[in-house]
Amino acid sequence: MIKRKNKFAEILKQYNYQLHSGDIVAGTITHYEKIGFLVDIGTEKIGYLPQEELIINFKDTIQNNLTLMNTTRDFFLITKNINTKQYVLSIKRLDYIRAWKRIKQMYIEDIVFNLPIHQINKGGIITYLEGIQGFIPKSHICHVKKDTIKFKILTINDNKNQLILSNKSAELKLSLHKFKIGELLYGKITNLKSYGLFIKIYGIKALLHISEIGNINCKNEIFIKGELIKVQIIHLNKEHGQISVSIRQLKNITNHHQQ
């Protein structure tokens, strides 16, 4: 690693290369100060790494800053301090870039995760993936264990630092073998709305829209919360964890309640 840093310094000198904001440079941490570190990056003026630029996640702490001494690694060049002429460096921002690259790959591979719950609020659940804060909206929560939750990546926007996750989508993927288009299944009525019924099938929430009921009114006493209803699967949205069901094509609709 020392050779690598020296090579970088030689390249700067040989080609008279001027460093710019956003460059990734190799350097060795040489000195620890109260609020940061001095870093030799092969330039005439030594670089500076502020302590707040060490790690992505503010919750983490480095127990012994001396362990970083004399370590050689890559740094992200933030800017050049006009007054001191020092290059201001960051480990955090480089880790941030690499974390988003890994997250994008995980999104492409459609991976299901099981991570600790960091915080629960009225809008949903906050957790961390690769040190990046992710949010699971309330509408995308299906099953929550005591301290952990399964989820898939729903949408990503690294420019806005937005990572939206879905527990419903993860649960549907894990249970997808239980659902087939056209299949008849029983589910428990969990909620009655003016636009339809919400039904739980194998622990997954499904929507029976009013348009798939026929001439029967959702608020009719024939539908009772907590009872079972026979339905047909008509649509599966794997990405958003949504299931749509119907009873329009079923015979003997009036006899659909079963214990």
Q: Are residues 116 and 64 in the same domain?
A: no
Q: What is the structure's pLDDT at 18?
A: 75
Q: What is the structure's pLDDT at 203?
A: 81
What type of residue sits at position 38? L
CA separation for the pair 54, 223 (Å, rounded): 58
Q: Are residues 8 and 82 in the same domain?
A: yes
Q: What is the structure's pLDDT at 58?
A: 43
Q: What range does the domain containing 160 cover?
A: 110-173
Q: Are residues 206 and 188 in the same domain?
A: yes
- The answer as to whether 102 is a domain residue is no
Helix H segments across the chain?
2-15, 92-109, 167-174
Q: Mean pLDDT, the chain, as a whole number?
A: 83
Q: Are residues 6 and 73 in the same domain?
A: yes
What type of residue sits at position 130? E
Number of domains in the chain: 3
- The answer as to whether 216 is a domain residue is yes
Q: Are residues 206 and 226 in the same domain?
A: yes
Q: Are 168 and 240 in contact (CB under 8 A)?
A: yes
CA separation for the pair 57, 127 (Å, rounded): 12
Q: What is the structure's pLDDT at 191?
A: 86
Q: Are 136 and 165 in contact (CB under 8 A)?
A: yes
User: pLDDT: is 17 or 45 the higher one?
Assistant: 45
Q: What mean pLDDT comes out for the span 113-132? A: 93
Q: Are residues 149 and 190 in the same domain?
A: no
Q: Are residues 142 and 155 in the same domain?
A: yes
CATH number, domain containing residue 148: 2.40.50.140
pLDDT per position as a tens digit, 37-91: 999 998 888 899 998 998 765 444 444 566 778 889 999 999 998 888 889 999 9
- The answer as to whether 243 is a domain residue is yes
Q: Are residues 185 and 246 in the same domain?
A: yes
- The answer as to whether 212 is a domain residue is yes
Which string of b and e fits 179-192 if b means at least 16 CB within 10 Å?
beeeeebebebeee
The whole-model pTM stands at 0.69
- The answer as to whether 104 is a domain residue is no
pLDDT band of residue 179 (cuts 50, 70, 90) is confident
**Domain boundary pick from 133, 155, 173:** 173
Q: Are residues 22 and 67 in the same domain?
A: yes
Q: Are residues 160 and 197 in the same domain?
A: no
- The answer as to whether 101 is a domain residue is no
- The answer as to whether 103 is a domain residue is no
Q: Which residues pair with residue 189 across a beta bridge?
A: 199
Q: Are residues 206 and 169 in the same domain?
A: no
- The answer as to whether 105 is a domain residue is no
Q: Are residues 215 and 249 in the same domain?
A: yes
Q: Checking DSSP bridges between strand 242-246 and strand 204-209, what pairing results, if any?
A: parallel
**Domain boundary pick from 61, 90, 119:** 90
What is the percentage of the chain residues whose pLDDT exceeds 70? 83
Q: In this structure, what are the phi and psi dihedrals at residue 219, rounded to the nearest 5 degrees?
A: -90, 0
Q: Are 232 and 184 in contact (CB under 8 A)?
A: yes
